[in-house]
Structure 1
Amino acid sequence: MNVVSTPEEVVPSARAVAVGSFDGVHRGHRSVLEATRGTGLAPTVVTFDPHPRIALGNRVDLLTTLERRLELIDEAGIETTLVAPFTPELQQTTPEAFAERYLRAIGTSVVVVGEDFRFGVRRSGDLALLERLGFQIVVPPKVDGVSSTAIRAAVADGDVASAAGMVGRPFELDGIVVAGDQRGGTLGYPTANLLMEPGLACPRYGIYAGFAREHRAAVSIGTNPHYGGTERRIEPYLLDFEGDLYGQRLVVEIWERLRDEEVFESEEALVAQIARDVEATRNARRPS
């Protein structure tokens, strides 16, 4: 997939363009992307970074990094993605100017968006305006109950099964493996210490079954209260894995919530519980 940051980098040609934030690239988003491909025109996406709501001062726990968002858009069969920097200048762009610069200038003839799509300064542009400007509009059927907001709420509650149902795949944690306190190794269960970008969604603290690098993973999310920790840590233990992950990107699928964090009477009790968590992880099923 060709990824660019300005319309001038896009060769004008007959295009169908999907416009949106596409955070999480969930089932509703994929319906839009599939419709874009289905036009027979060059399938193209116009998306934004940072997320418009964040740029406007709102807190949004993102479901995907920009890197992962682009990977998922690529997997959906899109040929070109224009990542428009959501600058103050873009925020003040009129709908007409936006359509001219980001749509017409790259050869767009079909715009594929949801029925509630708004664009331009103060969200003043709508589908009717796009039609008046000469674009053909395609509005795919809405996937009921699926939205990035609903997925974020499910993740925050630890309901990763519901989140997976809306996303269409397991919820993922995406970060870089950094050095930790090495405590897991002394207990016989060496974990990776996952550092995520600020502002990404994270499940409610607890222990989860998951999957990473072709291995099942028992994942601890929380503060390690047994050891009096106060900072959030994300620590996947990859079952039957041998190797060094330091400095590498790791994407961890979160399959199932196993239990809450606990403070144990002894280290022996903690190790016994970890063994049970590992066994539960071996038996966990990937949400469909």
Structure 2
Amino acid sequence: MNSFFNFQFGEFSQTTPNWFDWFSLLSSLIISAASIFLAFYLAERIYKKEKTDKNTEDLDIQNSEVHLFKNSLIELDRAIEKQIVDLQSYIDNKDFKLIFNSAIQVDFLQFVNVKYLYKNAGFNNVEAIEKINNLMISLYTLYDFRESLRDEVRTYLKKYNYHESKFYLYRQLLYTKYFSICNVRAESIIIDQGVKKWKFADDDKFMQRYTELILNTSNDTSIIDNNGLKDRAKLNAKFVVPLISIAFEYVPEDLNAIEINDIGNQVNNAHIDMESITEKHFNVMESYLSNLQSISSKIKLYLV
């Protein structure tokens, strides 16, 4: 019996354990159990507190992320609304004076953790998640918006200026080339009410018709007035195209008619190209406008 207690708990003070020995043994067991329980309890409390603190910290971070995201969206939407107004004015007036809003930028997206947006909306809220996804997709299209818009306008103006330089050949048809031919083919020059006029041979039908067309065009104030050319489309339709037809009737026997016909075709083709690229350009501008309006609507829908 003594050897048993010696092995398990150490030696008792006497050969046969008395009540004090048993009390000491039980006290040790109770204290050990209490210590273990207390340690477990404290560990659990610390774990729960750390977990609560972490949840609170995560919630604070989440709220902060959502708040910053919404503030960025508000600023972005203001810039988009200004650009919408400027784009609409550009499309309506077609004055080639588009204002570019530099505040349209979405660099803030690289700092956005979408996970917090999802958590704030609720992972089980399918409609809210879909709304966020649609918004983010639209926002990412704005990354190169400013540069893309500038490139479109820059390319259009470059092409337009090229064709416009060809269109300006109409001045030769109205003035320089006409006067040059008159000085060669006119039989005489007369002054009629202070206006210098050329008189051509009776059989010079080309120059007679050419001159009549110029007089009619010059007297049409809806086309040309004292300030210069008013309407390019009317000039092309009422002067250039008819002149091409007149000159073509005297091709190939009349060298001057050949030259006038060639210049007229260059002017007419330039006008057609100007109209074509302008139509395409403003169709693209309409798509930019529509995209901005759509993004603005999605931003407002998210912020509600």
After TM superposition, the score normalised by the length of structure 1 is: 0.20
After TM superposition, the score normalised by the length of structure 2 is: 0.19
Larger fraction in helix:
2
Larger fraction in strand:
1
| Larger CA Rg, structure 1 vs 2 | 2
